[in-house]
Structure formats: structure tokens, C-alpha cells
């Protein structure tokens, strides 16, 4: 009986060891196409955060300030999840009240890499956030959402036609994504870029607020005033920047949008 128990224990140990080796192999094989990372971010989730920008995006937003992330082939670095984790651990002491945010580009273009990185973050007790457009909504995206602690979701417009003008893609997936986050009660912050002449129509703002106020998982809404700081990147990559003459929204316009959102019970950060 004792010999049988020892043999059983030995087989279990071998199985566990094989599982560890297999997982190590997966970590080494899954590589992310990286644009850059920021080790002291304060605008991409709660607290101080390590922000990782992934390469690749299916959207073509008119106001994109990271236009150099659109094409995966233009990546600056190729790293495994473990290699990125080593960079994160270097600043773990600084981000202990914050965490890690993965942005882009559109991070969900690289779901396997996200899953491995978020697993490593969990093992190291590091809070995670996903900054996404919600455009990629499939089974792999759902698996990623199981592993991330919170989502920063950009619902760029509520009108389907105007959304397509702004982004070049359809709105439907993003709305389904938002509803799914509500279904699984995933903590979510919403972001709305206020662009004069594109996303500042009063009726549209009311409709946006009507939809998002039904999402009980939403903890906060940020109104982000359009700016011109990314224009030089468009020039650098040789693309026409169609919003070069679009002004930054006035303080009054921003406050008007925020007032509309608050009137529907949405929570905004006091400034």
C-alpha cells in the first residue's frame, strides 16, 4: 500500500512538473508586438500605472494620437509576456496602489499575449486594466475579460453613421461589448472624446448618456477634450490629418457635455 501511495505521489509530481514546463513553454512562445511602454502613467486607470502600448488597430480614428500604432508590422519591439513582466516588476513598488494598463492601438488584436500577461499579473498580485474600443468582440476577447480586473472602454459616438465617419468601422460591436461588460459586472470606466463638429451635438450627447446610464457596472465617465498633440505623428508617417483645423473644445462646451452626462446619473471626476 505504501509503495502504491509513493508511486501515485511520484506520478502526480511528474504531472505537475510537466504542466509547469508546458506553461513555461507557452510563455516563451506567445510574443507581443509592442509599440512602447510608460512606467509612471497617471491617466489610464486608478493610481500610478505601468502602461503598455501594443501595436495594431483595426480602427482609423480621425483624431488618433497614436497613428503609428495602426500597423502591426511597424512594431518597435517583440517581447514575451515574461519579458514584459520583468519590466513591470522593476517598478512594482511604485505601482502597488495602481497597476498595469494595456492600451494601443487595439490590445484585443493580440488576445493570446494579453491572456498570458494578465495571468502573470494575477500571480504577482498586480491590478490590471484593458484600454479598448470594444470593436473586437469574440470568444477570445471574452477569455481576456475573465482575466482582467477592469476595462477602460472608449465609446466614441452613439450615432452609427457618425461613429463610422470618426472611426471607419461599425458601432454595433462596441455596443455589444459594453452590454457584455455589464452582464459580467466588469468594473468599467467610459471615455468620450469631445471633438467640436464631430461628437459635440447635444442630442447625440443625450443619447450617449441614455445608453451608458443603463450600464450598472460603469464606475466613472471621463470627457476627454480633443487636442492637436498627435498631429506631428500623422505628418511623420505621411498620412493626411483631416482635423488639423479643428479647434480644441472650449471650457464651456466641455462643462456642457459633463452636465448632460451627470444629469443621467453618470459619475464624472470632480475637477
Q: How far apart are CA 187 and CA 87, in angstroms?
A: 26
| 154-179 b/e (C-beta count within 10 Å ≥ 16 → b) | bbbbbbeebbeebbebebebbbebbe
Q: Are 132 and 145 in contact (CB under 8 A)?
A: no
pLDDT of residue 81 exceeding 80, the answer is yes
* Statement: residue 10 has pLDDT above 70: no
- Percentage of the chain with pLDDT > 70? 89
Q: How far apart are CA 181 and CA 202, in angstroms?
A: 26
Q: What is the pLDDT of residue 205?
A: 99
Look at 211 and 232; give whichever has higher pLDDT: 211
- Collect all residues with Cβ–Cβ distance below 8 Å to 80 and sequence separation of at least 6: 27, 28, 29, 30, 31, 32, 116
Residues contacting 27, CB < 8 A, separation 6+? 80, 81, 82, 116, 120
First to last CA, the chain: 71
**Range of weakest confidence among 130-139, 159-168, 239-248:** 239-248
Residue 83 cell numbers, joined: 519579458
Q: Is the pLDDT of residue 73 over 90?
A: no
Q: Give the pLDDT confidence of 192-217 residue by residue, as tens digits.
A: 999 999 999 999 999 999 999 999 99
Beta bridge partner(s), residue 234:
none
Instruction: Name the one residue in this structure whose C-alpha cell is 461628437.
Output: 199
Once rounded to an integer, what is the mean pLDDT over residues 237-256? 95
**pLDDT tens by residue, 129-152:** 999 999 999 999 999 999 999 999
In the predicted model, is pLDDT for residue 13 greater than 80? no
Is pTM, for the whole model, over 0.85? yes
Residue 53 reports pLDDT greater than 90 = yes
Question: Distance (Å, rounded) from C-alpha 194 to C-alpha 63?
Answer: 10
Could you tell me the domains of the chain? 29-263 (3.20.20.70)
pLDDT for residue 21: 47
Residue 90 CA to residue 161 CA, distance in Å, equals: 45
Give pLDDT tens digits for 88-121: 999 999 999 999 999 999 999 999 999 999 999 9
Tell me the sheet residues that pair with 34: 54, 77
Instruction: Give Cα 106 to chain centroid, integer Å.
Output: 7
Look at residue 139 in the predicted model and tell me its pLDDT. Answer: 98
Locus of grid cell 519591439: 77
Amino acid at each position: 500500500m505504501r509503495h502504491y501511495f509513493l508511486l501515485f505521489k511520484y506520478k502526480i509530481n511528474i504531472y505537475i512538473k510537466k504542466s509547469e514546463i508546458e506553461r513555461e513553454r507557452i510563455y516563451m512562445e506567445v510574443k507581443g508586438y509592442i509599440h512602447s511602454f510608460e512606467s509612471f502613467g497617471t491617466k489610464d486607470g486608478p493610481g500610478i500605472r505601468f502602461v503598455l502600448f501594443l501595436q495594431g488597430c483595426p480602427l482609423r480614428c480621425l483624431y488618433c494620437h497614436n497613428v503609428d500604432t495602426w500597423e502591426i508590422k511597424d512594431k518597435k519591439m517583440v517581447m514575451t509576456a515574461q519579458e514584459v513582466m520583468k519590466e513591470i516588476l522593476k517598478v512594482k513598488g511604485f505601482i502597488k496602489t495602481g497597476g498595469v494598463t494595456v492600451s494601443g492601438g487595439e490590445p484585443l488584436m493580440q488576445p493570446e499575449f494579453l491572456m498570458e500577461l494578465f495571468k502573470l499579473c494575477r500571480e504577482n498580485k498586480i491590478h490590471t486594466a484593458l484600454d479598448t474600443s470594444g470593436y473586437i468582440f469574440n470568444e477570445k476577447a471574452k477569455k481576456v475579460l475573465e482575466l482582467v480586473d477592469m476595462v477602460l472602454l472608449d465609446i466614441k459616438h452613439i450615432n452609427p453613421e457618425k461613429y463610422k465617419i470618426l472611426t471607419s468601422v461599425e458601432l454595433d460591436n462596441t455596443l455589444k461589448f459594453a452590454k457584455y461588460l455589464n452582464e459580467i459586472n466588469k468594473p468599467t470606466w467610459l471615455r468620450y472624446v469631445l471633438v467640436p463638429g464631430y461628437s459635440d451635438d447635444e442630442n447625440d450627447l443625450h443619447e450617449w448618456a441614455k445608453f451608458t446610464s443603463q450600464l450598472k457596472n460603469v464606475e466613472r465617465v471621463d470627457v476627454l477634450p480633443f487636442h492637436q498633440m498627435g498631429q506631428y505623428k500623422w505628418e511623420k508617417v505621411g498620412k493626411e490629418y483631416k482635423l488639423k483645423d479643428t479647434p480644441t473644445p472650449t471650457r464651456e462646451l466641455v462643462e456642457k457635455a459633463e452636465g448632460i452626462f451627470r444629469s443621467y446619473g453618470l459619475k464624472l471626476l470632480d475637477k
